[in-house]
Amino acid sequence: MRKGLSRLLIVAVCSIALMGYMQYSKPSLYHSKSYVFGTLVDISIHGEPKERAQALSNVIMQDFQHLHQQLHAWKPVTVNENSELGALNLAFAAQSKPIAISRLMQEILLDATKLSQRSNGLFNPTIGHLIGTWGFQADEFSATNIDDKKISAFVSANPSMGDIVVANQTAYSINPSVKLDLGGYAKGYALDRATRYLRQQNVKDALINIGGNIIALGQHGDKPWRVGIQHPRKPSAIATLDLPDGWAVGTSGDYQRYFVLDGNRYCHIIDPRTGYPVQHTQAVTVLIPPQPVGQTQAGVLSDVASKPIFIESAKRKAEIAHAMGIQYFMVIDQSSQVLVTPEMQAKLAWLDEDVKKHVQIIKHY
């Protein structure tokens, strides 16, 4: 069964893991929504005239739509035109000579490679064949027959970001099994682009939410922007936290894109080591402070870093978070046990008393 747009409408502001707790009564707050990257996009700009805020939001939405088309893993731009990522995947499969790529694509591939290495390969955008085999490269998805032999073959092929050679705005793959899917990177990348644009336009206060990956600029009037962390099994928030200027938050969960087969839940987050969806974790939320210039920025980290923590075993979640440079995170496991770092606990205001009773503090790695 598909658990998509209807759940989005219930949650209202966020699609994957978080709900924005924002007050819209003040006339100086401009608010707009759209549907891009397969999810709801929500932009709030505070303190700007309505006409200017609307124009700025339109520019951002147009840029998001362009990125969506450029980075789409399986849908062409038109009947006769592949996305840039689609064309690249075709070249990889054919093991053709290096093909030209855009500066944007080169930047993404180089950064994604570094992040994949830091995650010990748990963040692996090259497993597009596995994602497609499980039926998650589609607008509509439902329970699918599990082809164990096909899954095993893709795992044995061992695609990785290290198989991609990028140089001088060209790229090729030494492994024909590589098929890129940037669904776990693109939303965060878009957040960082939008943030840079608004700062260049001297916008002081804004909140951008792409399907639950959220970044804050400034604050909302005289208060910080406040967001809520969604309960993975209920249409409600379990806690809220305030986002200071430049901070981002994101969640990976098993409750938005999934299907149930023979009583088992199969979500879209796949362990590249096994080829199967992760079943031991319900949700992981990461909170990311502003990052130094020249390093991967907060938006991308809010999108990427939650995946390796989600995938890794309970005993090694703190270890992989440390490898990714993440101090603020929360895990909800399959039994609804809540694990948080001391730093994350200090940021949270609990709303659900039942959840709060099950909170345990994660010791640092």
Q: Could you report the per-residue pLDDT of 149-164, keeping only the tens digit for each? A: 999 999 999 999 999 9
Query: Looking at residue 139, what is its pLDDT?
Result: 83
Contact (CB, 8 A) for 322 and 309:
no
CATH number for the domain harbouring residue 84: 1.10.3980.10
- Helix, strand, coil share (%) of the chain residues, nearest 5: 35, 25, 40
Exposed, middle or buried, 59 (CB in 10 Å: 0-12/13-18/19+)? middle
- Whether 279 contacts 332, CB under 8 Å: no
Q: Among 12-26, 54-68, 154-168, 220-234, where is mean pLDDT lowest?
A: 12-26
> How distant, in Å, are the alpha carbons of 193, 202, 245, 330 from that of 199?
10, 5, 11, 30
Nearest to 301 by CA among 118, 179, 130: 118
- The DSSP element (H or E) to which 129 belongs, if any, is helix 128-133
Rounded Cα distance, 341 and 344, in Å: 5
Query: What mean pLDDT value characterizes the chain?
Result: 92
Contact 71, 182 (CB under 8 A): yes
Residue 109 predicted with pLDDT over 90: yes
The C-alpha atoms of residue 342 and residue 363 are separated, in whole angstroms, by 8
pLDDT at residue number 356? 87
| Inside any domain, residue 263 | no
**Rounded to 5°, angle at Cα 167 from 166 and 173:** 30
Band (364; pLDDT cuts 50, 70, 90): low
Residue 90 falls inside a structural domain: yes
Residue 363, pLDDT > 80, answer: no
Q: How far apart are CA 85 and CA 180, in angstroms?
A: 7
Q: Which of 11-25, 217-231, 343-357 has the lowest mean pLDDT?
A: 11-25
pLDDT for the residue 96 = 85
Beta-bridge partners for 40: 35
Does the pTM exceed 0.95? no
Which residues have C-beta within 8 Å of that of residue 215, sequence separation ≥ 6?
A: 191, 192, 194, 195, 207, 208, 243, 246, 247, 248, 298, 299, 302
What are the pLDDT digits (tens) for 325-341?
999 999 999 999 999 99
30: tokens are 């401009």
Percent of the chain's residues with pLDDT above 90: 85
* Structural domains of the chain, count: 1
Does residue 100 carry a pLDDT above 90?
yes
Q: Stretch 42-58: mean pLDDT, rounded?
A: 97
Q: Does residue 298 sit in helix, strand or coil? A: helix
Given a cut of 80, whether residue 174 has pLDDT beyond it is yes
- pLDDT the model gives residue 6: 37
pLDDT digits (tens, 9 = 90+) for 77-89: 998 999 999 999 9
Kindly state whether residue 119 falls inside one of the protein's structural domains. Answer: yes
What pLDDT sits at residue 2?
44
How many of the other CB atoms lie within 10 Å of CB of 130?
Answer: 27
Residue 127 structural domain: 70-173
Query: Is pLDDT above 50 for 258?
Result: yes
> Mean pLDDT throughout 63-88?
95
pLDDT of residue 353: 87
Quick check: is 342 in a domain?
Answer: no
Listed range (11-25, 61-75, 121-135, 206-220) with the worst mean pLDDT: 11-25
Beta strand 338-340 with 359-361 is parallel
Would 165 be classed as within a structural domain?
Answer: yes
The C-alpha angle with vertex 191 and arms to 163 and 9, in degrees rounded to 5, equals 110
Whether residue 122 lies inside any domain: the answer is yes
- pLDDT at position 197: 98
Q: For residue 365, what pLDDT is reported? A: 60
Average confidence (pLDDT) over 217-224? 95
d(CA 318, CA 141): 33
DSSP 71-123: T-SS--SBTTB--HHHHHHHHHHHT-S-EE--HHHHHHHHHHHHHHHHTTTSS
For the ranges 131-145, 183-197, 307-321, which has the lowest average pLDDT?
131-145
Answer yes or no: is 158 within a domain: yes
pLDDT in tens, 6-39: 333 333 334 334 444 444 344 489 999 999 999 9
Q: What pLDDT shows up at residue 355? A: 87
Residue 130 lies in a domain: yes
